[in-house]
């Protein structure tokens, strides 16, 4: 080994050992990243869902969820020909919503399902068994990625059509 190569290695080692002192502060933002990603998914649902009539798509959130912090980013965005509106009120009127995210699993009642069907509302949640219980799109975590479980029958009953592009990524339950 040549002299300078040796010297450079020694110096680098030296510098490393001299400077080591304190452990760094832990940084855990996993939860917020997960919800940030969910917000992005909701945004794309606007273009991947066909409503019987919609020139404006309103995204609503019921309940307490970290998602709330990210929704304002979607507000006012243009998708295709329609404008996205993200409602920040805690409990907006269901009639205003085209996409409704339910953070609390107990909110999914037969009444809500009936209303969603008649008003063509896409029901989304990240609570367990949401899709099996009649919800339309359920988020789930798998291998560090977000996956979708879709209840296709429920989507159809509400007169909605999901793009094959979305369904390619989804697991279908009946």
Partner 1 sequence: MLYPVVYLAGTLLACLSIKPGFAAVAGEAEAVEETSELLPLSWEEVTELDISTLSRQTQSVKNSPAAAFVITAEDIRRSGVTTLPELLRMVPGMNVAKVNAWNWAISARGFNDLYANKLQVMIDGRSIYDPLVSGVYWGQQNLSLWDIERIEVLRGPSGSLWGANAVNGTVNIVTRSARDTQGGLLFGGGGSEELGFGGVRYGTKISEDSYLRGTVNTAYRDSSADLTATDDTHDNGNAQNATLRMDSQLSRNDQLTLEATLARYRQRGYLIGVTSETPPLWVQNDFGRDGMTGSLQGNWKHTTDSGHLIQTNFAFTQTHWLLGTIQMDRSHAVLDVQHSLPKLDSHQILWGLNFQTVHDQFQNSLTLGFEPAKFAQYNVGWYLQDQIDILDDLKLTLGNRVEHFTFTGWETEPNLRLIWTPNKAHSLWGAVSRAVVLPNRAQHSIRLFVPIPGSSDFVDVKANPDMKTENLLAFELGWRWQILHNFDIDTAAFYNIYDRMQGTQFDGTTLNSPDFAPAFPTNVPIYPATVSNSRQVKSYGVELSANYRANSAWRLQGAYSLNRFDVNYDTSRRWFRDELTEPHSSPNHTLSLRSLYNLTNEIELDAWFRYVGRIVVDRDMAIPDYFTMDLRLGWHPHKDLEISISGQNLLDNQHPEFSDILYIPVASQIQRSVLAQFSWRF
Return residues touching partner 1 (CB under 8 A). Answer: 1-2, 4-5, 7-9, 11-16, 18-25, 27, 29-30, 32-34, 36-37, 39-41, 43-44, 47-48, 69-70, 72-74, 77-80, 141, 143-146, 163-169
| Closest approach of partner 1 to the CB of residue 63, in Å | 18
CB nearer to partner 1: pick between 78 and 110: 78
CA distances from 52 to 43, 92, 164 (A): 18, 21, 17
Element (H, E) at 100: strand 99-102
CB nearer to partner 1: pick between 8 and 109: 8
3-class SS of residue 137: strand
| Closest approach of partner 1 to the CB of residue 106, in Å | 26
Q: Looking at residue 53, what DSSP letter applies?
A: S
**First CA to last CA across the chain, in angstroms?**
68
CB nearer to partner 1: pick between 7 and 91: 7
Task: Give the span between the Cα atoms of 132 and 3, in whole angstroms.
Answer: 70
CB nearer to partner 1: pick between 118 and 161: 161
| Closest approach of partner 1 to the CB of residue 82, in Å | 11
| Closest approach of partner 1 to the CB of residue 119, in Å | 23
Task: Give the span between the Cα atoms of 28 and 25, in whole angstroms.
Answer: 10
């Amino acid at each position: 080994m040549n002299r300078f190569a040796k010297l450079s290695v020694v110096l680098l080692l030296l510098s490393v050992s001299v400077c080591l002192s304190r452990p760094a502060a832990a940084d855990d933002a996993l939860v917020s990243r997960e919800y940030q990603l969910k917000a992005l998914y909701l945004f794309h649902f606007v273009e991947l869902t066909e409503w019987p009539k919609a020139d404006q798509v309103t995204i609503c959130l019921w309940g307490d969820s970290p998602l709330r912090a990210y929704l304002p980013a979607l507000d006012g965005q243009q998708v295709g020909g329609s404008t996205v509106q993200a409602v920040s009120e805690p409990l907006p009127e269901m009639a205003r919503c085209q996409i409704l995210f339910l953070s609390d699993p107990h909110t999914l009642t037969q009444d809500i399902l009936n209303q969603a069907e008649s008003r063509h509302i896409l029901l989304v949640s990240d609570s367990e068994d949401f899709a099996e219980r009649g919800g339309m799109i359920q988020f789930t975590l798998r291998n560090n990625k977000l996956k979708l479980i879709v209840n296709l029958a429920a989507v159809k009953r509400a007169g909605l059509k999901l793009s094959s592009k979305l369904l390619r990524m989804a697991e279908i339950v009946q």
